[in-house]
A and B are shown apart, each in its own frame.
Chain A
Amino acid sequence: MDSTSNAVMRTTEPVAEAPANPASDHVAPKEPTPALPMARQKADNESRLPTRIWLKNTGVRYVTRILALVTAVALWQVASTNGFHFYINFDNIPAPSVVGTALVAELAGHEFYLHILHSLERIAIAYALAVVLGVLLGVAMGSSRWAEDIILPYIELLRPIPGVAWIPLAILMLPTEQSSIIFITFLGALFPVVINTVHGVEQSNSVLIRAARSLGASKKAILWHVVLPGAMPSIVTGLAIGMGVAWFSLLAGEIISGQYGIGYYTWNSYTLIQYPQIIIGMFTIGGLGTLCTLLIRQACNPLLKWQAKGGRS
């Protein structure tokens, strides 16, 4: 989780600079040649590329990527069926064909969906709590030095502690297994949201705040109309990273306790020697995590549409 939190900071940088992006065209904007037509021209050129060249450039690259995956699956199949064993042991690893057959069986039943639903429920509750609290704390810390001095020590102290490390304490502190898992998931999502929100709020543009003040805006109006929209690109980054870390933490919690959930399913398959199910569980976790992050980004897109060059409402 430590490496994850580092990734939080790193991933923040480029996107967090996005609010300043409109400022990047201060290379003497000229009246008759706004930046827009150039951007359009470029897009047009790309879409007008003859199909043959497109195939040669983009098509070939996609084919290469698919071939790379197919090769890996084929090698896996060969290794599993022949019981490859040279340091890495494929003796107990089911072949892709076996995993496929097991997957079809799982999809036909209803138990598998139950596991998914339980995980999704925990994610939904934990993530919603983390987003609300995270944005509130982040805005408070970003806009008031006093709030920052009170809250920051807690954040800095607790943030480096991996979600898994919370499990014993969570079980001791909280009444049910369900609440322990949700707590751990919540913590995982909370820190990226808080930190990215603070980051976004703290770099709000002072010229825009002065403009708003001279237009008669109150402190509350400035927060709502200037600070929050300016911080939004950074907040959205925090929300997306938070979703990833939430899944990461959820799995840790579900593996150790719980009776349902896709993490439980994966670990339980191991103890029950249902090896194909391990692999089904792994890919389900990856797929759901990616899907949720994608959904969050999509849901936030309308808030960032102003960033798109040439975007008109």
Chain B
Amino acid sequence: MSTVPVNDNRLAVLDHSRLRAKAGKSGDERGRISVRDVDIVFDTASGPHVAVQNASLTVRPGEFVCLLGPSGCGKSTLMNAIAGFVAPTRGEVTVDGYAVTEPGPDRGMVFQQHSLFPWKSVKENVAFGPLMAGVGQNEANSVARTFLSLVGLAAFENAYPNTLSGGMQQRVGIARALANYPSVLLMDEPFGALDAQTRIMMQENLLDIWREFHNTVVFVTHDIDEAVFLSDRIVVMSASPGRIIADIDVDLPRPREQSLLTSPDFMALKRQCLDLIRKETLNAFQRQNKAG
């Protein structure tokens, strides 16, 4: 798996030991995200709509951070600002010191669903990023194969996405995002459309993959269990306007296993998040009632 022809350092495909060594060195770490005093305001028919208010957040290289909050609280919007799809109205977003102005292959995106190119085979989907980066077709194909084996879908390289289940499609989506060796992986409710069993499998899968790469992950979810199970840190957001209301360290041991879900530490963290979100939801209700 680690014997793919290389003529570009960026595509030093999955030499795991080297990647780990690299992640261990602090000098050339990549994937530091800094969000400073960011407001994001949308112009809507009914006037300006504040989707994100005064958000500040720093994510360290190699950290797995979940953005947690009720739907509509601005998680996707904040993530889109990091991805470069939405420009902050105020404040600044930088990745590795550079201001984010547009999307780029250094920030891989995984969407909730239906984001694979349906007219491209699974292999062509994953090879797309390397091709766009300017490597040859042969090399792009071998990178694609490597990443498909990483997500366990090597046998499906010639299948079209619409012949795969939702979970398999998401695995291809992850492989496609990783094939560019992004320093940051941005995932917007990537398992939100999957059934519970598949979701748990995918979470474990993702952690396995992340252990190999150890790149920075920002993972949006409204599922508290998912956030606690996956992350090093949970950033909790509240609704209307979207603000960051808590930043919780998740000091649970890794590798994480299913047994963790019933451990007292897990429960305590889950309760902490639940309380925060319930309080916010109640506040939101009261505000709505007063307004109404």
B195 touches A22 (CB 8 A): no
A212 contacts chain B at the CB level, 8 A cutoff: yes
Residue on B nearest A20 in the bound complex, by CB: B114
A210 contacts chain B at the CB level, 8 A cutoff: yes
B166: contacting residue among A31, A207, A216, A306, CB under 8 A: A31
A36 contacts chain B at the CB level, 8 A cutoff: yes
B165 touches A230 (CB 8 A): no
What sequence of 0s and 1s flags, for each residue 146-166 of chain B, a beta carbon within 8 Å of any chain A beta carbon? 000000000000111111111
Mark the stretch among A54-62, A168-176, A195-203, A221-229 that contacts chain B.
A221-229
A50 contacts chain B at the CB level, 8 A cutoff: no
Nearest-Cβ distance from residue B196 to partner chain A, whole angstroms: 10
A212: contacting residue among B128, B163, B198, CB under 8 A: B128
Mark the stretch among B21-29, B34-42, B104-112, B208-216 that contacts chain A.
B104-112
Instruction: Give the interface size bracket for A toward B.
Output: 35 or more
Instruction: State whether A211 and B180 are in contact (beta carbons under 8 Å apart), knowing that A30-B166, A310-B163 are contacts in the complex.
Output: no
The CA-CA distance from A141 to B83 in the complex, in Å, is 29
Chain B residues with CB under 8 A of A145: none
A102 contacts chain B at the CB level, 8 A cutoff: no
The CA-CA distance from A208 to B120 in the complex, in Å, is 12
A232 touches B132 (CB 8 A): no
B198: contacting residue among A31, A210, A306, A312, CB under 8 A: A31
A26 touches B193 (CB 8 A): yes
A28 touches B193 (CB 8 A): yes
A309 touches B162 (CB 8 A): yes
B165: contacting residue among A21, A31, A306, CB under 8 A: A31
B132 touches A216 (CB 8 A): yes
Nearest-Cβ distance from residue A39 to partner chain B, whole angstroms: 9
B180 touches A215 (CB 8 A): yes
Nearest-Cβ distance from residue A230 to partner chain B, whole angstroms: 7
The CA-CA distance from A230 to B117 in the complex, in Å, is 9
The CA-CA distance from A28 to B191 in the complex, in Å, is 11
A217: contacting residue among B83, B128, B160, B161, CB under 8 A: B128
The residue in B84, B165, B201 that gathers the most chain A C-beta atoms within 10 A of its C-beta is B165
Instruction: Give the interface size bracket for B toward A.
Output: 35 or more
Residue on A nearest B164 in the bound complex, by CB: A34
B118 touches A22 (CB 8 A): yes
A214 touches B107 (CB 8 A): yes
A109 contacts chain B at the CB level, 8 A cutoff: no
The CA-CA distance from A207 to B164 in the complex, in Å, is 19
The CA-CA distance from A23 to B16 in the complex, in Å, is 36
Instruction: State whether A306 and B118 are in contact (beta carbons under 8 Å apart), knowing that A29-B167, A30-B195, A211-B109 are contacts in the complex.
Output: yes
Chain A residues with CB under 8 A of B111: 207, 210-211
Residue on B nearest A36 in the bound complex, by CB: B163
B198 touches A311 (CB 8 A): no
The CA-CA distance from A224 to B222 in the complex, in Å, is 36
Instruction: State whether A216 and B195 are in contact (beta carbons under 8 Å apart), knowing that A31-B165, A34-B165 are contacts in the complex.
Output: no
B194 contacts chain A at the CB level, 8 A cutoff: yes
B165 touches A313 (CB 8 A): no
Chain A residues with CB under 8 A of B84: 214
B195 touches A214 (CB 8 A): no
A312: contacting residue among B85, B115, B158, CB under 8 A: B158
A41 contacts chain B at the CB level, 8 A cutoff: no
A45 contacts chain B at the CB level, 8 A cutoff: no
The residue in A35, A215, A311 that gathers the most chain B C-beta atoms within 10 A of its C-beta is A215
Chain B residues with CB under 8 A of A221: 132
Chain A residues with CB under 8 A of B193: 26, 28-29
Chain A residues with CB under 8 A of B167: 29, 31
Chain A residues with CB under 8 A of B176: 211, 215
B160 touches A311 (CB 8 A): yes
B70 contacts chain A at the CB level, 8 A cutoff: no
Closest 8 CB pairs of A and B: A29-B166, A216-B105, A34-B165, A229-B119, A214-B109, A215-B129, A216-B132, A31-B198
6 extra interchain contacts, Cβ-Cβ under 8 A, other than A26-B113, A30-B195? Answer: A28-B166, A30-B166, A208-B115, A213-B85, A214-B108, A215-B177
